[in-house]
Amino acid sequence: MRLDKYICDMTDYTRSTVKTILKDKRVRVNGTIVKDSGYKLKENDTVTIDDEEIKYVEYEYYLLNKPSGYLSANDDKRYPCIVDLINSKRKDLFPVGRLDLDTLGAIIITNDGILAHKLISPKYHVNKKYYAKTKENLKENIAEIFSKPMNLGDFITEPCIFEKISDNEAYLTIHEGKFHQVKRMFQYAGSEVETLIRTDFAFLNLNRLDTGEYRHLTEEEITKLKKLTDEKR
């Protein structure tokens, strides 16, 4: 990896700033001053800036409890973005899939593109569980409606898990993630969703995470997510 990319990935410095600090002899590799931004680093090289070691982490993984009013993106001119809630020096983080602007709940933030693609691909059958509160009471035969595929016009839903909680509350587990899918499924069943929260992403849940809070995924959780997508279902 180039030295300038390494420093940019792990700090707040821009490429132009990196050139400046290199020119000022503030960067050392294995104790030796390096001024070439294109210097090729080896696997076990140690990089320091002003004698402070800059350790490289290739991928970062976070679980965020998304608040309402935040866009599932890393840049937007109209709305605040969920990536802005993550305190990281990385500039390549992005959300795994998306939640609507007014939808709350569990969403993974990472820069691991391969894993992200698998987690949102329907063929890997990674479950996402939602809590839905509707404006009106659910129909008497609501469970029967959700037990069958729904033709929503642009696609037909795959099997889901529906759990009624009360007259106007339910859990819904799906492994797809089409545009407005959960809201459209409830609309198909004759109900308009008032509140929607994704409570679980695969085996990850919002336990002890308040709205707007996030945490790093553990090594065990990262490994488990990768195992979920090792083989096609």
pLDDT tens-digit series, residues 198-210: 999 999 999 989 9
Task: Tell me the pLDDT tens digit for each residue of 137-148.
Answer: 999 999 999 999
Domain that holds residue 48: 3-53
Domain match, 107 and 219 both: yes
Task: Tell me the pLDDT tens digit for each residue of 165-192.
Answer: 999 999 999 999 888 999 999 999 999 9
Q: Which domain CATH number covers 45?
A: 3.10.290.10
Looking up tokens 């001119």 gives 77
Structural domain includes residue 103: yes
**Predicted model pTM:** 0.86
Q: Which residues are catalytic?
A: 100
The CA-atom distances, in angstroms, between 199 and each of 92, 104, 204, 205, 232 are 26, 9, 8, 6, 25
Domain count, the chain: 3
Domain match, 138 and 191 both: yes
The percent of residues in the chain predicted with pLDDT above 90, rounded, is 85
Domain match, 100 and 76 both: yes
Domain match, 143 and 195 both: yes
Task: Tell me the pLDDT tens digit for each residue of 4-13.
Answer: 999 998 898 9
Task: Tell me the pLDDT tens digit for each residue of 73-109.
Answer: 988 889 999 999 999 988 899 999 999 999 999 999 9
pLDDT at 233: 47
Domain match, 179 and 221 both: no
Domain match, 104 and 144 both: no
Q: How far apart are CA 76 and CA 94, in angstroms?
A: 13
Structural domain includes residue 232: no
Domain match, 187 and 151 both: yes
Mean pLDDT of the chain: 94
Q: How far apart are CA 12 and CA 90, in angstroms?
A: 8
The percent of residues in the chain predicted with pLDDT above 70, rounded, is 99
